Chain A
């Protein structure tokens, strides 16, 4: 029982990581209907920015806030300059642009910051909270921040006029434009928000997996899986999907097949979920009119 609880909690901790990146993916999907393959690398780059600021002597939380702000602006700029020209292009062209962004960010990060692995500080105390034996306070804090971001996003999309406008622009661009919403800017804002959420995710992940240009390659896949299992258009589903994938991955690895095949089995499970529920657990089912 003790060992089982341990597995569950460490699954929840890694699940929190997947959840935070999945949330960023869902953000971009909600505002643009694309899945951004470069999301992980953008988050990695933001984390490097934070690292350089902290390295230069800035206090952690100032660096955190500045990084989020810079990432937001970078996201907007990327949308305006790089994504805009392929706005009407077929899906595959857009995917290729994302792949290009991915390799560019990865390569430039390796070039500027080198490929040596760096440690990234955690804002949380080293002692586990409340004397529990299962989960470190950084992991608990990371889960807390992820849930916090989720609540803020929910409130933003549900209750502010800007959030409503962004949702409308994603759902029906033509009608939104006719009712006076600047659709192009809404898309750019969506990218900015996603980049900011990604930056938060990166800074929460880095103390656990350490900072290097390839830190996101493993995480991103699970984040995709989490987002799709939860339903790509539901932020709540993405977070829950993240925890689900994390826990399942751990339990299956520990009790069923051993660690060497746990990735495979996790992915098989995900495909299994999708086959029975093709739009994810919390996704909306779209019915097309003939």
Chain B
């Protein structure tokens, strides 16, 4: 009933998104270059979080290793630009394809693991990544501990905007494509299969869903998103080094989807804003123990918005729209965000 109510006005929804997009395009011309850089990183993280959410939120496979795929994407872009002189925009598909392959291959052993065990296996990948990048036999490609410095691309077609502004717009365009594709992937037959595997694998199998194939493909697609974002991140930061891709990055990504809203597409943006800005904000509050403040923020978000920011926004929206009773709003909310528990 509520779903129909929400879906009743697709035109209004599209109009709303168009307004948001227009705002996002205008934003880099209103703020300083440093802010543009920060916002650019938010867009990059949003792509990662969408990719991770497809795997963890929609498919139910917990990954603590997406920092590794992000690193692979970043290094593919850096190596192609630095060693082979590829233009920056051609590195994105390459990063995507490489990460898809890695993700798919990693998804094969991951099929046998679930819950904590999968979390550990993926976490091991994240922990091992900096060491592998420093390994002496690949050093001629990866640049070892020093990493690789990339030149920031200028705006093409003689546009009169700064490189930062151009990169922001470029990232935004990629992001729109990735989100439209992701949204289409998740709302159709494939998306239903992915969610069904999370909610009840056995029932899904009985309905004819090929679990092994879907799970590994989902892993691949998720890694693809993360890899493209990694390549974009490398171009934006203009630098890759093994120690920027620690296990902490992977944990940050997971925190991002929980704060944003597990199993929600829009949640990627809220989560990205959180992991980009809250650490800075915490630093401003207390120089002595910024991470303690960050931790308190985390706790506050988890306690006050159990469905993530996206869930909270949805609940608030339903209230405004006149879904009065708390119980109704709750059930509409849980339909969207929580895995349904079937006995």
Contact = CB atoms under 8 A, between A and B. Distances in A.
Interface of A: 35, 82, 85-86, 89-93, 95-97, 99-104, 106-108, 110-111, 221, 224-225, 228, 232, 260-261, 263-264, 267-268, 270-271, 274-275, 278-279, 290
A230 to B, nearest CB: 12
Contact of A107 (B119, B289, B339): B289
22 contacts: A90-B262, A91-B115, A93-B258, A95-B258, A96-B255, A96-B258, A97-B298, A97-B299, A100-B302, A103-B291, A103-B298, A107-B291, A107-B295, A108-B289, A221-B123, A224-B123, A261-B131, A263-B131, A267-B124, A267-B125, A270-B120, A271-B121
A270 B124 contact: yes
B259 interface: yes
B302 A228 contact: no
Of A85, A96, A261, A268, the most chain B CB neighbours within 10 A belong to: A96
Nearest to A267: B124
A108 B292 contact: yes
B294 A103 contact: yes
Contacts of A96: 254-255, 258-259, 298, 302
B interface secondary structure, majority: helix
Q: How large is the interface on B (under 10, 10 to 19, 20 to 34, 35 or more residues)?
A: 35 or more
B40 interface: no
Contacts of A111: 288-289, 292
Report, nearest first, the 4 A-B pairs whose CB atoms are least far apart: A104-B295, A107-B291, A267-B124, A100-B298
A204 B11 CA distance: 65
Given A102-B295, A103-B291, 11 more contacts: A85-B303, A99-B295, A101-B295, A107-B291, A107-B292, A221-B123, A260-B131, A264-B132, A268-B124, A271-B124, A290-B202
Interface of B: 56, 62, 109, 112-117, 119-121, 123-125, 127-128, 131-132, 134-136, 202, 247, 251, 254-255, 257-259, 262, 288-292, 294-296, 298-299, 302-303, 306, 338-339
B175 to A, nearest CB: 24
